[in-house]
Amino acid sequence: MKLDHSYAKELQHLGSPIKPLELKNARITSVNQRLIDELQLPGEWFKDDVLLPMLFADDSELVEFSMAQKYGGHQFGGWNPDLGDGRGLLLSEWVTGSGQRWDLHLKGAGPTPYSRFADGRAVLRSTIREYLASEALFHLGIPTSRALCLITSDEPVYREKKEWGAMLIRVCQSHIRFGHFEYFYHSQQKDKLDDLFQYCLKYHFADCQKTQYPHLCMLQKIVADTASLIAKWQAYGFNHGVMNTDNMSIHGITFDFGPYAFLGDFNPGFVCNHSDHAGRYAFDQQPSVGLWNLNALAHAFSPYLSVEQIKSALGQYELILQSDYAELMCAKLGLKSGDKNNQAVLSQWLELLAQDKRDYSLSFRLLCDFDVHGENAALRDHFVDRKTFSQWADNYKTLLFSQGIQQAQRQLSMKKHNPNYLLRNYLAQLAIDDADQGDFTKFNTLLKVLSKPFADEPAYAEYAQAPPQWGKHLEISCSS
């Protein structure tokens, strides 16, 4: 187990060396102990008198080679070459005893050459939102970067109003984005693009080096992982909000949290980002945007692969996404996969949710108690159009009977695939409001609840409720 700096040493020309800028009266407010233990990180690091000097002392091993990475990206469909780590720094890489490599990345580290005249800071609000979201997704089984610790301060940071500066150390396999490859391809820096590919094949796609066409294998893996990720987003009702290519990871993980939201009242065209006026990143557009982004990435593979090879790799996207999504939705409905009648029952159910504007996750959770021998009054009364519900329920019963699924087993299985607790934006906002006043009780409670999303604990019943009316219409934008 050790700290390493392979990216900074082998790809030093793909970014800029920068040290973190100290925050006023910085202090560690939250530590993800379970993650620290999983990664076998030294527990003694995460104390104020140890970690903070490591972050802000120039000669510390943690920041000796810290750097801001350079990349570009397609933002809302338009190419922007002037991107990079504007408020984040790759500190180091942690290599576990098994050889697994994890980036240690600091958000809110201060200005970099890519800050575009901004202050390079993160605010407490956005930092808390990322911490909560990454843990919520992880415990749902959705691939994501994760928060390692939250650092707060007494330093004012000005956005629409005065807020408090904060930092977040997050971890993931690497912080390499689609936009890295795009930038060096479109700027015609073939030597740097070669170096980036060789680095990724060496450290992140090592198995591909054993194949006849390593670059093809790498592209296929990125396509498959991205398709699988977005299938999970769609199944669990997660809207990312800013699927720019600079926010897309080569590892198929959820990355760069901004104006995200889990679905409330079901609307397939839901747009969580109030800056997205055209609805490019609406919930039902995420699968197609994922493919669009992969096509944008694939241009960078064109010096190494034929058009036919690229087409064959991209051609797997829709098949994998549809297959994974169908499997996930069958589990949520308690159905056996592979039955040609599943799709009709699923489509009718989603149409009913949309028509009556019923809460997406709450409705699926109620469905877990569906009784093939009963009237299901509580579930029926959940809907406005009870006649249509009854018709659907009859079709659902028929399908369940035909598949011969034992009821108790089905109900138990469904409760393992339909969360009882979700990160609602209003819950995050309540935690943020208290944290702004120095009280992190709600934040810590929410972390605890989200770590067991499928549980049913009476003490946390309020977290399983539909959002109040005011909580359904919170405006969340990229500036978050």
Tokens found for residue 160: 């629409």
Residues 147/450, Cβ–Cβ less than 8 Å: no
246 labelled catalytic? yes
Alpha carbon separation from 393 to 288, 304, 334, 383 (Å, rounded): 31, 53, 14, 12
Classify residue 265 by its DSSP letter. Answer: B
- Per-residue pLDDT, 478: 60
pLDDT tens digits for 313-362? Answer: 999 999 999 999 999 999 999 999 999 999 999 999 999 999 999 999 99
Q: Domain map of the chain by residue range?
A: 2-175, 179-262+272-325, 328-414
* pLDDT tens string 72-120: 999 999 999 999 999 999 999 999 999 999 999 999 999 999 998 899 9
Q: Which of 85, 103, 246, 324 is catalytic?
A: 246
- What span, in angstroms and rounded, lies between the C-alpha atoms of 22 and 186? 35
- pLDDT of amino acid 58: 82
State which residues of the chain have pLDDT below 70.
Answer: 477-480
User: How many CB atoms sit inside 10 A of residue 303's CB?
Assistant: 12
Would you state the pLDDT for residue 83?
97
Q: Kindly report the pTM of this predicted structure.
A: 0.97
Q: For position 477, what pLDDT does the model report?
A: 62
- CA 85 to mean position of chain CA atoms: 18
62: CB partners within 8 A, 6+ apart: 3, 54, 55, 91, 92, 104
